[in-house]
Amino acid sequence: MQIDLAGRTAVVSGSSQGIGLAIATGLAGAGARVVLTGRSEARLRRAEERLRDTVPAAAVSAVAGDLTLAEGAEQLCEAVPQADILVNSLGIFGPTPALDIDDGLWREYFETNVLSAVRLIRAYLPGMTERGWGRIQNIASDSAVVIPTEMIHYGMSKTALLAVSRGFAKAAAGSGVTVNSVIAGPARTEGIEDFVYSLVDRDLPWERAQREFMREYRPQSLLGRLIEPAEIANLVVYLSSPQASATTGAAVRVDGGYVDAILP
């Protein structure tokens, strides 16, 4: 399958590292003009360099700003008023005992993982429907379906993204715009090592610590390993393509078989 996104502009939130950067790299490799976003200009510059190392001919730019705030979303939309592809990858995660999650932390996870995506969809969806083509994807998680006991606030936010995706897909019905969520499984990103070591013995070598984490905390995984960000990006690139025109309102899984169900 030859995916050609030449002439398309893709905005990827939370793309200075990890899954977001892998997605941006995959979209650039398919020919899209890619806009990286993040709070740190220095990290965005490094991300842009890494992307160009992988895709030398990439058309890539970066906009710094805090997308958890309305002002940050407005700043991005002023810099990039039109997008053909929107991937909401911005998110935070971290373990906290259920009864220790206070009101402020609940709000922080909702603001960051859910409302930041809603704001950008509201900004870019009207232009997509007017032009009769667009792709919106919200990066969810296996935690949306299998709520982890160590971070139910994170699971809540990702479950909400499934509802957001389905609802906006209905709002875009018949317009040529598709809206989907991607249920990503445990991935090998920059933040995961600290997370894993917060749950298993810090004296263990990384490969053994990873296996111990998967065995104890993610035993449902059929892969038995962390997923590479590029593996998630591959699905996102497909869902961003013309070939995925009949997939909308869906929760598509790239979770290594973690969710033990036929349907999400």
Annotated catalytic sites, by residue?
A: 154
Beta pairing partners, 134:
177
**CB atoms inside a 10 Å sphere around CB 64:** 19
DSSP assignment of 47-101 equals: HHHHHHHHSTT-EEEEEE--TTSHHHHHHHHHH----SEEEE---------GGG-
Cβ(137)–Cβ(181) under 8 Å? yes
State the Cα–Cα distance between residues 246 and 249, nearest whole angstrom: 10
Q: Confirm if 214 and 224 have CB atoms less than 8 A apart.
A: yes
Measured CA to CA, the distance from residue 98 to residue 102 in angstroms comes to: 9
Tokens, residue 57: 């001919």
Give me the residue label for tokens 């998967």.
214
* Maximum CA extent, the chain: 56
CA distances from 106 to 114, 141, 156, 175, 236 (A): 11, 17, 9, 35, 28
The Cα–Cα gap between 217 and 50 comes to 32
